[in-house]
Structures are given as C-alpha cells and as structure tokens.
C-alpha cells in the first residue's frame, strides 16, 4: 500500500497499549520475572504485581479483588462463564438463555452445551439490536440456570438494558452473565448496579495488552473450570499467570477508570462528527444499531449496493483501517449474525462498515475519512449491478 | 491485504471492462446475495468472436478482480474458446485465490458462460462446450 | 528479607525473558498493535508477526508451521491435547492411558474425562521416575484412543524414553501425546524422531514470555476445541491472539534452537558441580530422579529429617530461590505425587528440594549455595524430632 | 514469604525453647507424616506450673513458629492455664496463619496438651480442661 496518511478507526478490534501501561509491564519481563506460585523473593514480587492488578481490575467494575478470575482472552472469559456456570448448576436444571447477537464465544459455547444435554433458548433483538427484558422473562423456565446477554455489541454498538434484564433474571431465580468485553473501560460498568452474577472483560479493549482478560464472578457462584491443572486463580483457571499482561491490565484499568468520562466525551464528539459527516456525504447509507444507546466510540453503517470487503480494501489503500460484518470479510463467508438478527437483509448487510474511534483519533482523521469515503463508494457503485438496477428502477 | 496476489490486487484496483453494453448480444448473471457476490456480464459478438465484453460486479475484491480478469481473457476470443475459460483457469491466471474465496467470488466464468448461452439461445446456436454442467464444480486451489 | 547476594535457581518454575526476545516483542505493543484478524494494514502486520513466530516455534520441534496451535499456557496446551484429542476420537473408544507422574494439567484433565465416561489407566514409574514402554503396551486396549506421557518431569528431571513408548502406542493403534513443557528449548526435541502425534510446549520454559505456549498437533489428528468462538488458530483455539507474547515465543524458540547445545553444556557442568557439592557437603541427602537421563539444568534432592518449605524460607533469607515438592509448599498440602509415585516415603518426600540452573547462573552462584545450604540443614535438623530419633537409634 | 505475618517470621527465624528436656515430666507428640508436620513437646512441672517447655518440630515455617509460640505462651503458666492455649488462640497470637496452613501446622497446642496429659497420667491427676475433645476442631481464620 502507499505511504499516505494512516488513520486507524478499528479500536473495537483492538487498542494499542498505552505507554504508561507498557511501562508498568516492562519490569515483569526482566527483574520481576518470577512465577507467582514460587515461595521466594522472585515469586513474591510477581505475586504482588498480580494481586495489585486484581484490585485495579476489580475497581474498574466496582467488584472486589477476590471476585476476579484472570483469563487469557474475552473468549476464554465467556467460555468459562457460560460453560462453567451452566455446568456448575446442573443439579438445578439444564436450560440456558442467550441473545441472538452474542459474540460467538457465548453463542457457540451455548451450542456446545447442547451437545451435553442442555437446552438453549435464543431471544431475538429488535431493529436497533436491543433485547427486550420481557422477552427474556418470558423465556425463563424452572430449569433455567443461566442467562447470558451481552452488555454492548461490538458490531453495532448497541448497549443493552442490562440492569432491567438482570432484575427479571434474578426474580426468576436464574444466574445472569453479561459479556461486557466491548463496554468495560469505555463506559461506566458497575457489577452491583447492573446486578449481574458474572461479567467478562478484556484488557485489549481499553488500551491494555492482549493476553489479559477476566471474569468477574460474584462470590459464591459455583463454577466448573474449563481447564484442569494447578491452583492458580483459586483453581478456577490454572496455568502459570501471564504476569506482565495481568499487570498491564491492572494499569490500563486504573487509567480507564480515572479518565473514563473525559475519554468518552472526546470519543462521542468525534464519533458524532463522523456519523453526521458520512450520512450527509454519502447517499443510501443506514446507521446500524441504536442511535443513542450505543458505545461512545462506535459508528456502524450499511452502505447500500456495494460490499464491505471491497470498501475495506480501498479505504486501506488510503491508509484508513476499519472493519466490516460482510460475508466476504468473514472467514466463514457469512454475513454478521448480528446484522441479520436485527432484520437487515443479506444484500444490505454486505455493505457493513464499522468505524471506532480511540484516544489517538483526531478531527483531521475524521475529516480525512469523510473526504475519502464518498469517492470509494461512488467507484464501487459504478461497478455494481445492484446500483445500476436501483438507478434504472428509480429513473424509470 | 496479503491474502490476495498482486494480480488480484491489480485487477481489483484497476478493473478492466467495467460497465454495461446497452445493446448487448448476450447478458449473463450469476451469484447470490447470501454469499454476497453477484456479477453481470454483457457481450457483443461479431463473426463468432467476443468483440466486446463488459461486466458489473457487486462483491468483494476477489469477485471484482475475477470479473475483470474474465473480461480481459474473453475479449477477442471465439465463443468456443471463451467457453474454455473455467473458474480454475481464471484463478490460475490471477496467481491463485484464497481458499475460502474460491467458491463465492469465482463466479465470473459462469456469468460469462451465461451471457454466451443467452446469445446462443437467442440465435438458436448449438455451441460445443455449452451443454453439460452449467456449474463447473470449482476445485479448491 | 536482607539484601544479600541473590541467586535464582528456580528456572524450571519460570525463566526471565531474554533482552532479544523482549526487543522483538516491543513493537507489537505499540506500532504493530493490530488484531491479526483485521483486514487492513495493522491487522496484516500483526498477522505477519504471528505467522513468522509459528514457523520459528515449529522449527524448534522440527514440525511445520500449520501444525502449531498457540495457547496461553502449558496447562492449556495439555488440556487441549488430552481432552480435545480424547473427545475427538470417541467413535473409536473411551479409554486413555497416562503416567503417574504427569503434571496435573494432564492427570486432572484425565480425571475430568472420567466424569464423561472415559476410563483412565495410570501407568506406574520406577524409582527413577521412568515409565516402562512394556508397561504402556500392556495397558493399551482396543478402545484406547490416547496415551499421554510427559517428555521430561520438572520435579525430578527424568527424561522418558518417548520414542520407544510412541512406537508401542503407534503399533497398538492409539494416538500419543507428550507434555514436553519442561524439555522443549532445553534439550533437542524432534516430533518426527519421537514419533508422537501431539506435543505441548511453553515459552516461559525457554526464556520466552509467559502467556505463550503451543500444542504441536500432527496434521489430520481430530481435535475438539476447549473453547468456542472465532476462527483464530483455525478455530481450534479461538480468542484474540496474544501477538506480542507469540512473537516473543517465536524469537525465544529461534534462539533456543540456535544455542541449544552450548546452553545445555554449560548447564550440565554447573548442575553437576551443584549435585556433587551438595551430596558431599550434606549428609543424608538423596538425588531424586534419574542420575543421567535428566534435564541438563536440573538437580533435585530429598534432604532427610527436615521439611522443604522451612529450607526454602531459610534459603530465601540468604537470597537463594529454589523450589520444593513438599506437602507444605503445595497449596493442597500434599507431597509431590511424583515423588510418591517413585516410591519415596512421605517423610522423605517432605525434604524435597529442587534446584534448576539457567543462562545467568554462575560458578559463584553454585559455590554460594554449597556454602549456604549445609548450615541451614544443620539448623533445621537440630529442631527436628525425626533427626533426634535417628541419632538416638543410630547411636544406640 | 508474604503469606506469613511478621510474628510468624520472627518465631520461625528465631524459635524460642528449641530442644529436648532429658528428664522431662511429660512428653507429647502430635502430627502426621502425610501432612508433613510433627511436633514433640517436653515439659518440666513444678508446683503445678510449667517451669520449662521445650519442643522439637519437623515441618514447615508455620509449624516451627507455632511450636515456638506455644512454648513461649505456656512457659510459667499453671497446667490449667496452659490447657486453655488452643490452636485459635495461638494463631491469633501469631497475627494469623494462612488459611491452608491452619490445620496441619497448628498442632503445637495439641502437642503441649498431650505432654500435660502424659504428666497428669503419670501423676494420676485429674485436670480441668483435659477431658473432652483431644483435637479441638480448628476453625478457619
Ligand atoms: C511438565 C509440565 N507440564 C505442564 C506445566 C504447566 O505449565 P503452565 O504452568 O505454564 O501452564 C508445567 C509447569 O511447570 C510443567 O512443568
Ligand atoms: C463483545 C465481545 N465479546 C467477546 C469478544 C472476544 O474477545 P477476544 O477476541 O479477546 O477473545 C469480543 C471480541 O471482539 C467482543 O467484541
């Protein structure tokens, strides 16, 4: 690709590690390299690092340190929650409820549970990607042990009414997990206020390192571990702790908590400019997800008559990095199950385009995108038989 | 986009023969909206040769590159020669296609074949290579 | 603790990250922070880093890149191998064989399989911790789908005759996994020569980072993933790749391969000095594990009449970091199952002491240990009723 | 070793009253080799008081510290007072013991009790607090 301006607008895919975070991590590769389980000076210092991070991560979601189980990814946290909690409650029943727009680490984990005799109910979402708490309530049965509904969706940005859903789940006597991977660190998340029993979060969504994530699990909730092995994380997640990454997650959590509102405010402003700019500069574009109840750094669209991967490639050629939920951009060649669940036709879902801003995003970046996107859309529409047909039908 | 060959990238960035032929002698459409790639081929025939070929494509980078490549390969060929352009020949000519892209994006040859068939049907022609499998089973590369 | 000389001799617990390795990792926290699954410049560069590492890791065990599945720890690699391969072959049978001295991530994974209807045979070891290939052969049945025997044991250093065991397993038609977490990077490991079907390795055992490990899995072996989610690692290990750690593992693998023999030679010399020194300076000490067929950096003992944790604490007080397999040093308060399986009495196993040398170990470190250990042993024996009894019995 | 309090560390590093009393009035042993901690307490009694207490311990840091603490607490006490030294009192006095260490290492009080019992048996004494549960169920702290 050419050496033009480079604009990263794919922060929901992953964020860079902040310099302060990396700095906090560095000693743990060198001097403080010990194994936290070791009974000596090196082990002790590593353990202190991990335990400090546990407190910092707990604070970010208003939990307590002992309720944090560190994992290696949001995917692992979700698998641990869904499989671990469901399997921990089999004495009570074998029914779980998830939404249609969950990340695959929840949705497919539920499918895997079906193979061992669980029943899974998938509740729908509306056109904005919202789950209706009443719909959840309606689907909870006597043998429902777990409901898992995500906090924010990373493809359309929609934020669910988790507190309301948690309330109906609690009243019905089931446990409630929320995948908050896309939200924690970006918007306030308080496990007590939300009233959930388990919550997944991942460091690389808030300027912490890859390889560190966590499940917050309310004290007393029974959990069958995914893995067997040593005594790390109270035996619930064995394996040598990824100390530097955990320490980095702690630091990133601390910073995210401190800077939350100013970060969000800046993101919201840039994001709103981007949305307004694109909607006015390009015809036949739909904003996907909820217009207000959405992540502050999130702007997602469907551009009609053209396909997402082609747009990605041409944007990339201009130095702009975004993502898409089109079939062609997925390894499985299926359009985003999220967009389809929201009632968007396959043809339209093909034009999915997803921008997410971050701490390094500038007004110039937004201007650049608003300048570069329209000719790309025009160019692809000129090749598109769907657009030609549309023009003919409209014209004639 | 490292999973695409330079040839694919070139045809995607600079697609040849884009557009519609208003008074086409044959038109062929191929593709489906679930996979996400759809192509329309237009041909102009003179003395049993493809005097002009144009296409429109809704789809990913590979789909656009394939269409462009097919149009370029087809132009100037006799109808019989053009019918020998198969998905695997196109993929090879493009320096390969990513495995998972092969099936969906590589529909250009079929769209062309449909256009030729359209022409042949209108003209009442029987062409060698047109009978048989409409959809060559695309091999993985 | 006091600020005396500091001597780390617990390299089997974990190793520091080499400066060259950290240097290779650093860009991936900053500039090259992309998600390898992203279809743009940032994603592409991250993906290139991961794929280069895959080749480097494969080379270390003489495998090919596509056979490497990155995981977050040796524990995860072992769980994935044991559970994933066993569950992948249920059509054939539900019997597996492991040795009595496996790491808990194998042994307990096997126990978990029992809960879903598998039968597990645990083969014994001799006094040196060696598994007899004939014993394995005897225990393979028609419905045996998997045999998992570790390559080297991290508690007693013993290296198993894996090629011989793999041969009998192959002849019997079962699949063979070896946990080579303790050996890979320290001694030559060649999956083709060993003739295994799956092999676990972990970066933090050879100066790579924590949070990166791998399962080498022979092409064509069916595996049920531990986790559900995205398409990473061919769907066999979903979750955002821990790019910096994976890149670091690749670099560490490259260095380990290049420097293997000179590293091992140095370790062996230091280790032999340590063994000779301790055996001559302290009475009533047993070298555990095999005297020759052992890891080059590994020296393990049982010091009679006293307990390991107390020794660890006093050694730590002198700045010396080692580990122990005593009951008191384990969270579960059970003496090392490895020592017990080797026929060492509980009382003796309590005196377990485990030294492992590394790249930074010097002759002075060895001298220091040989100087500091004897008075510590004497001091604890003076408190010990077992030693008093021994003296009385010997005296009278 | 941060899971040990400063008090535990002090008693481990500098254990009080280590040793054997050759002509002890009572000897008590406690512990088991699987857990890994074993303690022997020796007492010298004068006028119903523990004139001297010594111990030997095979075990971890906590076991050694507990023994030392028990010996220190017991010395000079009447037999009845000494019998009131329970595992939880010892743990408290030591500033707490790690949860998983409580059961195994905290056997010092029992060993002392056994030594007193040994003395009482020899002397044909009936002491208050000696009947009943030989093994106080150690509470978690
Ligand atoms: C032989 C062996 N296997 C597996 C493991 C587990 O590795 P990890 O703690 O990195 O998950 C270890 C750890 O020490 C080991 O020595
Ligand atoms: C909502 C949500 N949940 C879970 C995940 C999985 O996280 P990871 O890829 O870090 O395992 C993602 C990743 O994008 C996500 O957006």
The model's pLDDT over A33-42, given as tens digits with 9 standing for 90+, comes to 999 999 999 9
> Was domain B6-120 assigned CATH 3.90.1010.10?
yes
Q: Helices D61-74 and C308-317: crossing angle, nearest 10°?
A: 90
Strands B37-46 and B49-58: antiparallel
Ligand nearest to the CA of A159: 2
Q: Are A20 and A251 in contact (CB under 8 A)?
A: yes
Q: How far is the CA of A8 from the centre of ligand 1 (A)?
A: 38
| Listed residue (C12, C73, C117) closest to C237, CA to CA | C73
Count CB-CB contacts under 10 A for residue B20: 14
Can you give the pLDDT at residue C129?
Answer: 98
Task: Give the position of tokens 């999220």.
Answer: A338
pLDDT at B134: 47
Q: Which of D29, D58, D103 sits opposite C306 (nearest CB)?
A: D58
d(CA C18, CA C24): 10
Walk along chain C (396 residues) in steps of 10 and give the mean pLDDT of each run.
Answer: 81 98 98 95 97 98 98 98 98 98 98 97 98 98 98 98 98 98 98 98 98 98 97 95 98 98 97 98 98 98 96 97 90 88 96 97 98 98 95 87
Q: For chain D, what is the mean pLDDT?
A: 88
Q: Concatenate the DSSP letters of all residues of C199-257 into one string.
A: EEEEGGGTT--TT-EEEEE-TT-----SS-SSSGGGGTS-S---HHHHHHHHHHHHHHH
Centre of ligand 2 from the C-alpha of residue A213, in Å? 10
- With a 6 A CB cut-off, is A105 part of the ligand 2 pocket? yes
Using the mean position of ligand 1's atoms as its centre, give its distance from the Cα of residue A133 in Å: 45
Q: Return the pLDDT at D140.
A: 35
Q: Binning pLDDT at 50, 70 and 90, where does residue B133 land?
A: very low
Residues of C in contact with A333 (CB under 8 A): none
Which chains share 3+ C-beta pairs under 8 angstroms with C? A, B, D
Q: Residue A210 CA: which ligand 2 atom is closest?
A: 10
Residues of A in Cβ contact (< 8 Å) with C313 = 39
How much is the average pLDDT of A102-126?
A: 97
Given a cut of 70, whether residue B1 has pLDDT beyond it is no
- Token representation of residue C212: 């990166």
Q: Is C234 on the interface with A (CB under 8 A)?
A: no
Query: For residue B102, what pLDDT band results from cuts at 50, 70 and 90?
Result: confident
Strand partners, C365: none
- In A, which residues are within 8 Å of C75 by CB distance? 227-230, 238-240
- Mind listing the pLDDT tens digit for each residue in A253-294? 999 999 999 999 999 999 999 999 999 999 999 999 999 999
Binned average pLDDT, 10 residues per bin, chain D of 141 residues:
83 96 96 83 97 96 95 97 94 91 83 96 88 46 34
Q: Is C184 helix (H, G, I), strand (E, B) or coil?
A: strand
Whether C317 has its CB under 8 Å from any CB of chain A: the answer is no
The rounded distance, in Å, linking the Cα atoms of A120 and A114 is 7
Quote the CA–CA distance of D66 and D39 in Å, as a whole number: 10
Q: Is A15 at the interface with chain C, CB within 8 A?
A: yes
Q: Cα(D70)–Cα(D11) distance, rounded to whole angstroms?
A: 10
Q: Are D112 and D85 in contact (CB under 8 A)?
A: yes
Q: Which ligand is nearest to the CA of A12?
A: 2
Residue C7 sits at the chain A interface (C-beta within 8 Å): no
Nearest ligand to the CA of A77 is 2
Residue A340 has which token pair?
């389809």
Are 3 or more Cβ–Cβ pairs between B and C shorter than 8 Å? yes
Strands (E), chain C: 7-8, 68-71, 95-99, 119-123, 144-148, 175-179, 198-202, 213-217, 285-287, 298-303, 320-321, 352-356
SS3 for C124-142, per residue?
Answer: CCCCCCCCCHHHHHHHCCC
Q: What is the pLDDT of residue A38?
A: 94
pLDDT band at A6 (very low <50, low <70, confident <90, very high): very high
Closest ligand relative to C325 C-alpha: 1
Q: Would you state the pLDDT for residue D127? A: 86
CA distance A200 to chain D (A): 28
Subunit contact B59:A317, Cβ cutoff 8 A: no
Note whether A touches B: 3 CB pairs or more under 8 A. yes
* DSSP-H helix ranges across chain A: 19-25, 41-60, 74-88, 104-115, 133-139, 162-171, 191-194, 243-281, 308-317, 337-341, 346-349, 363-383, 385-395
Radius of gyration of the CA atoms of chain C, in A: 22
pLDDT at D132: 52
Question: What residues of B are in contact with residue A346 (Cβ under 8 Å)?
Answer: 33-34, 36
* Run of H or E residues at A147: strand A144-148
- How far away, in angstroms, is C86 Cα from ligand 2 center? 28
| ipTM entry | 0.94
The tens digit of pLDDT for each residue in A39-60 reads: 999 999 999 999 999 999 999 9
Token digits of residue A132:
């209706």
Chain B residue at shortest CA distance from C41: B1
Ligand 1 centroid from CA C89, angstroms: 25
Among D36, D100, D105, beta carbon nearest to C331: D100
Q: Which residues pair with A179 in a beta bridge?
A: A200
pLDDT score for C396 = 65
In chain D, what residues touch A47 (CB-CB under 8 Å)? 2
Rounded CA separation C238/C285 (Å): 48
Residue C315 structure tokens = 């050694």
Give residue A132's pLDDT band: very low, low, confident or very high (50, 70, 90): very high
Q: How far apart are the first and last CA of chain C?
A: 41
From the CB of A277, is ligand 2 less than 6 Å away?
no
Contact A302, A324 (CB under 8 A): no
Contact check, Cβ <8 Å, C386/D1? no
Beta-carbon separation of B18 and A305 below 8 A: no
A191-243, pLDDT tens digit by residue? 999 999 999 999 999 999 999 999 999 999 999 999 999 999 999 999 999 99
Contact between D2 and A48 using a beta-carbon 8 Å cutoff: yes
Mutate to test the pocket of ligand 1, among C14, C70, C154 (most ligand atoms within 8 A of CB): C154
Q: D-chain residues within 8 Å CB-CB of A44?
A: 1-2
State which residue of chain C sits closest to B4, comparing Cα positions.
C39
Return the DSSP state at C246. H
Distance in Å from the first CA to the final CA of chain A: 41
Residue A232, class by beta-carbon neighbours within 10 Å (0-12 exposed, 13-18 middle, 19+ buried)?
buried
Contact A10 C42 (CB under 8 A): yes
Quick one: which of C297, C233, C299 has its CA closest to C50?
A: C233
- C47 and B2 within 8 Å at the Cβ level: the answer is yes
Cα(C209) to ligand 1 centroid in Å equals 14
- pLDDT for residue D133: 47
C107 vs B129, C100, C102, CA distance in Å?
A: 62, 8, 6
Q: What is the value of pTM for the model shown?
A: 0.96
- Residues of B belonging to the active site: 35, 104
CB atoms closer than 10 angstroms to residue C363: 10
Quick one: pLDDT at residue A395? 83
The pLDDT tens digits for A321-371 are 999 999 888 877 788 999 999 999 999 999 999 999 999 999 999 999 999
- D35 labelled catalytic: yes
> Three-class SS of residue A73?
coil
């Amino acid at each position: 690709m050419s050496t033009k301006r480079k604009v990263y607008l794919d922060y929901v895919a992953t964020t860079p590690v902040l310099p302060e975070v990396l700095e906090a991590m560095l000693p743990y590769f060198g001097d403080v390299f010990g194994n936290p389980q070791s009974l000596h000076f090196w082990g002790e210092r590593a353990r202190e690092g991990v335990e400090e991070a546990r407190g910092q991560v707990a604070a970010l979601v208003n939990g307590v340190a002992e309720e944090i189980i560190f994992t290696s990814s949001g995917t692992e946290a979700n698998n641990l929650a869904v499989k671990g909690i469901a399997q921990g409650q089999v004495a009570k029943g074998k029914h779980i409820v998830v939404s249609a727009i969950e990340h695959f680490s929840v949705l497919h984990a539920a499918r895997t549970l079906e193979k061992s005799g669980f029943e899974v109910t998938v509740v729908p979402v509306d056109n904005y990607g919202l789950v209706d708490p009443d719909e959840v309530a309606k689907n909870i049965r006597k043998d429902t042990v777990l409901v898992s509904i995500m906090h924010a969706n990373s493809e359309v940005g929609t934020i669910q009414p988790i507190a309301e859903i948690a309330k109906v789940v609690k009243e019905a006597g089931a446990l409630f997990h929320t995948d908050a991977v896309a939200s924690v660190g970006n918007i306030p998340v308080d496990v007590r206020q939300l009233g959930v029993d388990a919550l997944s979060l991942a460091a690389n969504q808030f300027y912490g390192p890859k390889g560190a994530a966590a499940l917050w699990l309310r004290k007393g909730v029974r959990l069958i571990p995914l893995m067997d092995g040593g005594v790390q994380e109270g035996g619930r997640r064995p394996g040598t702790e990824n100390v530097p990454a955990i320490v980095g997650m702690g630091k990133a959590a601390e910073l995210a908590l401190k800077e939350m509102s100013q970060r969000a405010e800046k993101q919201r402003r840039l994001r709103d400019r981007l949305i307004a700019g694109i909607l006015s500069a390009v015809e036949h574009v739909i904003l996907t997800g909820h217009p207000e109840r959405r992540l502050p750094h999130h702007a997602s669209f469907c551009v009609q008559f053209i396909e997402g991967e082609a747009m990605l490639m041409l944007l990339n050629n201009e130095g702009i990095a975004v993502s898409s939920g089109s079939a062609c951009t997925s390894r499985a060649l299926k359009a985003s199950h999220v967009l389809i669940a929201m009632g968007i036709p396959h043809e339209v879902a093909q034009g999915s385009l997803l921008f997410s801003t971050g701490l390094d995003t500038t007004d110039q970046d937004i201007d650049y995108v608003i300048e570069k996107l329209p000719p790309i859309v025009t160019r692809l529409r000129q090749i598109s038989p769907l657009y030609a047909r549309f023009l003919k039908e409209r014209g004639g | 986009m490292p999973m695409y060959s330079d040839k694919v990238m070139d045809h995607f960035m600079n697609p040849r023969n884009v557009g519609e032929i208003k008074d086409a002698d044959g038109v062929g459409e191929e593709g489906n909206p679930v996979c996400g790639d759809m192509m329309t081929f237009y041909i102009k025939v003179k003395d049993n040769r493809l005097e002009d070929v144009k296409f429109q494509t809704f789809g990913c980078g590979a789909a656009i590159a394939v269409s462009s490549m097919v149009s370029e390969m087809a132009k100037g060929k006799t109808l019989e020669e053009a019918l020998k352009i198969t998905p695997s020949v196109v993929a090879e000519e493009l320096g390969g296609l990513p495995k998972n892209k092969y099936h969906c994006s590589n529909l250009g040859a079929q769209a062309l074949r449909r256009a030729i068939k359209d022409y042949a049907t209108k003209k009442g022609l029987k062409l060698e290579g047109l009978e048989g499998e409409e959809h060559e089973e695309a091999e993985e590369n």
